[in-house]
Amino acid sequence: MMNSPDLTNPPAQYRPIPFWSWNDKLDPEELRRQIREMKKAGLGGFFMHARGGLQTAYLSDEWMECVNACLDEAGKCGIDGWLYDENGWPSGFGGGLVNGLGVKYQQKYLRHEYLDAADLEASERENTIAWYDAATLELLGEKLPKGTAGRLLRCYYEVNPFYVDNLDPKVVREFLKVTHKHYYDNIPKPLLAHMKGIFTDEPQLSRNGLLWSFILEEEYWKAYRCELLKELPLLFLGTPESDAVRVRFWSLVARLFAENFLKQIHDWCSEKGWLLTGHHVLEETCQAQIASNGAIMPQYRYYHIPGMDHLCRTEPSPVAMTQLVSVAMQFGQKQILSESFALSGWNINFFGLRWMFQQQFAHGVNLVCPHLSSYTLRGLRKRDYPASLFYHQPWWEDYRSVNDYFARVGMLLAEGKAVAEVLVLHPLSSAWCHFTGDESNPHLDFYTKTLERITRALDVHQIAHNYADEQIVAAEGSFEHGAIRIGLQSYRYVIIPQITNLSKPVLELLRKFAAAGGRVLTVRNRLEPEKLTVDGETAPAEVRAWFRALPAFDSEEAAAAAAAAELAEQRTVIT
């Protein structure tokens, strides 16, 4: 903790860092002028963001001349230069250099179709993964055996040539080579001192249903000693075994994304002394985060400064904020970023900016990334996710007052110590059991809503709480001194919202905690009241009996009220 924080003039590291849209033919001297404007307005740095309208070739010698000029000027002004890792977004394709290497590097989706063997032509179907008997789901092979008759199910992959396979570590290594290493090799060492780190923007797996990767068969076997192809149809077809297959598959996907994309980039940046920041996509709901991320919370642990984004002039998602802040608290990440204000409109004012971010401050987010500061507004550029919060605004001369406010609050939050009394189990694995690639399934929204309701109810009672992600618990969870410990945080009170599935590590931890007198409250599942599984398999009768004996409530609001009353009583006794 800082001994005497200077609230009159907080350092650059706590000040807002805008997305600086490089959206035209760039001139080094104009870039330098704009940096001096940022300094005058109380901004702490800038993300050099290639964006629509750019007329200077991305990563060219001319581009690097501009980057180096900006780092030089940042050093003169005492603010921080930050790179942005892509030509547009989402991050990972290296301006087309990575996906341009062919199908192995390109994004793939899992698809299926039903066919009659009698109607098949002699030629093979492209991109086939495997053939199955449609009635029994028996695996027939990657190639259809001669003489096969009857109704068939074919699983195949569809290629998106415009993006990449972020599960494959070789693909990510290529991205690092063409982007991060290119910057490192072409920025003079003295200027690297003024370069703080790099922003990754919305890296993802799929926004078009179920995903596929050429590495999945081998990785599934290594993880579970099961053949993925034998189980593949159960990802989209309902059988008694489907839940277990889906839990295994999506748990693996989330882990591979975290390790092969985020951890690999994190480790490279750490070795070079760079900070990794940024955010993912579709973080707010269970149904949206599954295909795009597998699970969002395990991804955050590999950022030096984890982040989220908040679009439009609306209240931010309490779930998105709590997911992010929970991981940051558990892993000791002091600064927590939010890219905010995109699509807030040209008439956004200082009151609106503060209103939008105060709610994020209240949940622990503490570093503002204003979206957007446009190099120019020429032509259609003024329509790019407005507003542009930059020198062309009539209020620009007064903008420092807002940035000073953001910096003061952000510094106090970053240097203070956050404590959460309550741990809430995230219901994502219950949603995995229902995910077939169709995000409109009402079961998925049910588990999103139970998490949102318990979060809002605890917020009403001003009870600080974190989420327990089941993968993070498996890696970092323990029972110590009568409390559940996840990373750096300890919890003596647990609330389980409406769920159907528990992972084995979470179940074992909860039972130890409860046996030692720890309080575990549950909310009765109104959608699937009789169902309880462990890693997708039917829970033993003894586990079901233990779970049903826990204190249970008919609503999230009732559980939160009970927790508030008990915690208040404990504080009174302590006092």
Token digits for 442? 């009402």
**CA atoms in the 13 A half-sphere facing the CB of 354:** 14
Residue with tokens 């040539």: 161
Tens-level pLDDT at each residue, the chain (575 residues): 455 668 889 999 999 999 999 999 999 999 999 999 999 999 999 999 999 999 999 999 999 999 999 999 999 999 999 999 999 999 999 999 999 999 999 999 999 999 999 888 756 789 999 999 999 999 999 999 988 999 999 999 999 999 999 999 999 999 999 999 999 999 999 999 999 999 999 999 999 999 999 999 999 999 999 999 999 999 999 999 999 999 999 999 999 999 999 999 999 999 999 999 999 999 999 999 999 999 999 999 999 999 999 999 999 999 999 999 999 999 999 999 999 999 999 999 999 999 999 999 999 999 999 999 999 999 999 999 999 999 999 999 999 999 999 999 999 999 999 999 999 999 999 999 999 999 999 999 999 999 999 999 999 999 999 999 999 999 999 999 999 999 999 999 999 999 999 999 999 999 999 999 999 999 999 999 999 999 999 999 999 999 999 999 999 999 999 999 999 988 765 54
* Structure-token match 């973080």, residue found: 283
Tokens 């707010």 identify what position? Answer: 284
The token duo for 436 is: 């077939």
Element (H, E) at 297: helix 297-300
Please give the pLDDT value at position 123.
Answer: 60
128 beta partners: 156
Residue 132 is predicted with a pLDDT of 98
- Alpha-carbon span 240 to 537, nearest angstrom: 9
pLDDT in tens, 172-221: 999 999 999 999 999 999 999 999 999 999 999 999 999 999 999 999 99
* 153 alpha-carbon distance from chain centroid: 34
Q: 35, 46 in Cβ contact below 8 A?
A: yes
Q: List, as one string, the DSSP characters of 390-457.
A: STTSTTGGGTHHHHHHHHHHHHHHHHS-----EEEE--HHHHHTT-SS-TT-HHHHHHHHHHHHHHHH
pLDDT tens digit sequence for 432-477? 999 999 999 999 999 999 999 999 999 999 999 999 999 999 999 9
Helix H or strand E encompassing 141: strand 139-141
Decide if 88 contacts 50 (C-beta within 8 A).
Answer: yes
Q: What is the pLDDT of residue 569?
A: 86
3-state secondary structure of 83: strand
Q: Which residues contact 459 (CB under 8 A, 6 or more apart)?
A: 318
CA-to-CA separations, 572 to 297, 493, 564, 565, 567, in angstroms, rounded: 34, 17, 12, 11, 9
- Both tokens of residue 187? 């920025």
| DSSP reduced 3-state for 357 | helix
Greatest Cα pair distance, the chain, in angstroms, is 81
Q: How many CA atoms lie within 13 A of 125 on its CB side?
A: 23
Tokens of 506: 């979470």
Give Cα 156 distance to the centre of its chain. Answer: 28
DSSP state of 261: I
**Whole-number Å distance between alpha carbons of 74 and 195:** 8
Q: Residue 424 and residue 446: Cα distance in Å, rounded? A: 16
DSSP string computed for 142-174: SSPPTT--SEEEEEEEEEEEEEE-TT-HHHHHH
Q: What tokens does 253 get?
A: 């996907």
Please name which of 498, 489, 459 lies closest in space to residue 318, comparing C-alpha atoms.
459
Q: Which residue has the tokens 């989706």?
A: 109
Cα dihedral 398, 401, 406, 407 sign: positive
CA separation (Å) from 551 to 194, 494, 519, 562? Answer: 55, 11, 9, 10
